[in-house]
Each structure stands twice: as structure tokens, then as C-alpha cells.
Structure 1
Amino acid sequence: MAYKSPVYNVIAVPIQKIVPNTYNPNSVAPPELKLLYDSIKEDGYTMPIVCYYEKNKDIYVIVDGFHRYRIMLEYPDIYEREGGLLPVSVINKPLDHRLASTIRHNRARGSHNVDLMSNIIKELHEIGRSDAWISKHLGMDRDEILRLKQITGLTSLFKDVKFGTAWQPAEDWKTPEDEA
């Protein structure tokens, strides 16, 4: 069977069954949030919320679309017009791939909160993802990953980093006069 993108199976989900994820590093400034409200008010929901379905809890965890979800929560006119239902596209992926999906969706649109991004790098590292995996799945280069690791201040994040040998401890360093 050929691959079928999740967007071809959009379902209407009561907003009460949808919950935000705990790791989204994206934020939207008030003017852009107002613009999103205006867009949804004028055009309706033109893109579904991307969620992961947790069967044991019967909830949908947002992977992408938190701010579209937030508009429905904060604007009664939108809630009423939509009957409290959000369009949802479901992906079935493990947590590490959902983290990566969230970042890819967000990075394709704009900027991120650096502290929250560094926490995601930390979490991926703690569940065993290598820098190469992070680079491939989040679209980051090694320097960006290293900078985000530095923000966390956790030395365990650097155990696999190869550092240069350009410096020598002072007691091993010789001046040209010492060599003569």
C-alpha cells in the first residue's frame, strides 16, 4: 500500500480531548496571535492541528498547532462557530520523533525560544539520541546543537563531543626562548 499523508484523514475532535505537549519551544507575540485570530475568524481553520493520540487516556496531544488550539480556547466566538471541534491530523510516532516533528514544523515557520530549544536538546540527549540524530531530524548543524547544549550547563551533554587540542596547560607550554 502506498504511503498516505495524515492530512488526508483529518478528524473533528472536541477541544476538551486535546492537550498541549510539554515541550513546545515556539511562542507567538501578541500582535501575531491577534493576526492568527483574525485569520481564523475570516478564513476558518485552514490547517489541522497535528496530534498524537494517547489511546489509554483517550486524549490527543498536540505536536503542532498549539496557537490554533489556543485561539479556540480564548475566543468564544470561534469556539461557538466551530462547535468546540478542532480539525486534527493524527501522527503515530514515538516521543523522540514527535519532538523532532514539533521542531521541524516550528522551524519551517519562524523562530524559537532558545531556552526551551536547549531543554529539548537535553531531553533528546537523555533518551539516547546522538548529535547526528538531532542534526538529521531537527535540521540543525553541529555548532547550533553545541550552543544549545552549552545553555543547559550540563556537562553530561558533552561526553561525546570531540574538542580540539589547540591549547596546552600552562605548565606544558614553552616560549620560543625556552626552546633556544
Structure 2
Amino acid sequence: MYKKLAELIDCLKQHQGALTLHERCFIYNLLSDAAYELIQISHPVLNVKLVPQERVIDNDYNPNKVASPEYRLLSKSIKTDGLTMPVVVGGHDAESQNYYIVDGYHRSKLIKSDSIINESLNGLIPVSILDSTLDQRMASSVRHNVARGVHQVDLTANLIVKLKAMNWLDEDIASELGMDKDEVLRMQQTTGLAEAFKDHTFSKAWE
């Protein structure tokens, strides 16, 4: 078996010059699938795929912002060390073949916008794929950000309100986001008050 595998690898190496980028990506993704099935360890990071950058779509709920110095440092890191972490995506759309970002928006943005990084990756984005629905992706985005200590409270609170609108129970939100129920309730109350008064013009009589 090992001999046949070695022969297959040698064959691929011998013909790689005749293969198009699309064909090389197709083979890489097939091999990644095969290795993932072989290893029998169910962690998405062990099955990284190469996806054209135009198929990796930003989400509209990401509660994570990076200041300019950190963003420049991320760019420097990728240019110096290479891309060391895949972009986490989910919600594969079978019709459009698009993937939606769960974590790694800034890495994706740099790959798309920085000509040096883009050229080094041939316009491809390495992705780790979660099989998840929209609400599951939203919760996962918060978990990724909180684990790094970089989430913003107001945006996390807005996300909680969205999950409530999807009929999530407080205890489910608390469990999925690593919070306690009181914290979930406080965030709902704070966001609700802000929403109620966002268009209100207050009197200056108190001045």
C-alpha cells in the first residue's frame, strides 16, 4: 500500500508542470478529503481546502474589529511567516458555491486586497469548513472572538438579540457563547434600551 501511495505521489510530481492551477487545487482538495477520512479525527482544521477568493464571502454580523496597528502587523506577519491559519467558513451554498466567513475576516480581507499576499496565494484562500446554519455560524463567530479576547460587548449584545429573534432560549445562548444567563439578560436589556431611544431627540432643559 505504501509503495502504491509513493508511486502516486511521484506521478503527481512528475506531471505537476502540465497541470493548471484549477487542476492542482482540485487534486489538493481531493487529497485533503482523503487524508481527513483516513486519519479519523473529526476536527475541521485537518481538512483545509483551497477556495477561489471570490467564493469566500464576508458576514454581516462579525463582532470583531482590528485597529490599524494590529492590522498592519497582521499584514507583516503573513508577508514574513506566510499564512499560518486558514479562514474558518461555513454555510456552503450549493448553488453559488460560496462560503461565508465565521472567523478570519481580516486575513481574508488582506488576501483579497494586498497584491503581494494575493499573488503569493494565487488568489486562493485556504479555508476550514464548518457544517453549520446561519445562527450556528453567528454563535461560532462570537466564540472564536471571545476566546482571543477581542470581541466588542455592544456587537455581541446585538448578536444575542438576533439569536433571540431566531427563537433561541436564553439558556441555549448562554451555553453556546460561554456566558451565564444573567449576562445574556443584561445584554438584551442594554441593547433593547439603546434600540428604543436611538432616534429620540432629548431635551436640553437639564443644562
Whether TM-score is above 0.5 comes out as yes
Give me the whole-angstrom Cα distance separating, in 2, the residues matched to 1:151 and 1:96. 21
Give me the whole-angstrom Cα distance separating, in 1, the residues matched to 2:61 and 2:119. 29
Is structure 2 residue 79 aligned with structure 1 residue 46? no
Give me the whole-angstrom Cα distance separating, in 2, the residues matched to 1:90 and 1:14. 14
Deviations 1:30-63 (A, max 9, x none): 1111111111111111111111111122101001
Q: TM-score, normalised by structure 1?
A: 0.80
Match of 1:85 in 2: 124
Equivalent runs, 1:57-76 vs 2, <5 Å: 57-76=96-115
Cα deviation, residue 80, structure 1: 0.8
Match of 2:137 in 1: 98
Give me the whole-angstrom Cα distance separating, in 2, the residues matched to 1:110 and 1:40. 21
Partner SS state of residue 126, structure 2: strand
Give me the whole-angstrom Cα distance separating, in 2, the residues matched to 1:70 and 1:147. 33
Cα deviation, residue 86, structure 1: 0.9
Query: More deviation in 85-94 or 141-150?
Result: 141-150
Partner SS state of residue 96, structure 2: coil
Q: Could you tell me which of 85, 94, 110 is aligned with 1:55? A: 94
Is structure 2 residue 61 aligned with structure 1 residue 23? yes
Give me the whole-angstrom Cα distance separating, in 2, the residues matched to 1:116 and 1:95. 17
Percent pairwise identity: 47
Match of 1:176 in 2: none
AA aligned opposite 2:82: G
Cα deviation, residue 137, structure 1: 0.5
Is structure 2 residue 158 aligned with structure 1 residue 123? no
Is structure 2 residue 189 aligned with structure 1 residue 150? yes
Cα deviation, residue 143, structure 1: 2.9
Match of 1:135 in 2: 174
Give me the whole-angstrom Cα distance separating, in 2, the residues matched to 1:16 and 1:113. 28
If asked which structure has higher relative contact order (CA below 8 Å, sep 6+), I would say: 1
Give me the whole-angstrom Cα distance separating, in 1, the residues matched to 2:190 and 2:87. 30
Give me the whole-angstrom Cα distance separating, in 1, the residues matched to 2:97 and 2:190. 36
Give me the whole-angstrom Cα distance separating, in 2, the residues matched to 1:27 and 1:95. 20
Give me the whole-angstrom Cα distance separating, in 1, the residues matched to 2:110 and 2:103. 14
AA aligned opposite 1:62: I
Give me the whole-angstrom Cα distance separating, in 2, the residues matched to 1:73 and 1:86. 9
AA aligned opposite 2:191: T
Is structure 2 residue 48 aligned with structure 1 residue 10? yes
Give me the whole-angstrom Cα distance separating, in 1, the residues matched to 2:49 and 2:166. 31
Higher share in helix: 2
Match of 1:163 in 2: none
AA aligned opposite 1:98: R
AA aligned opposite 2:127: V
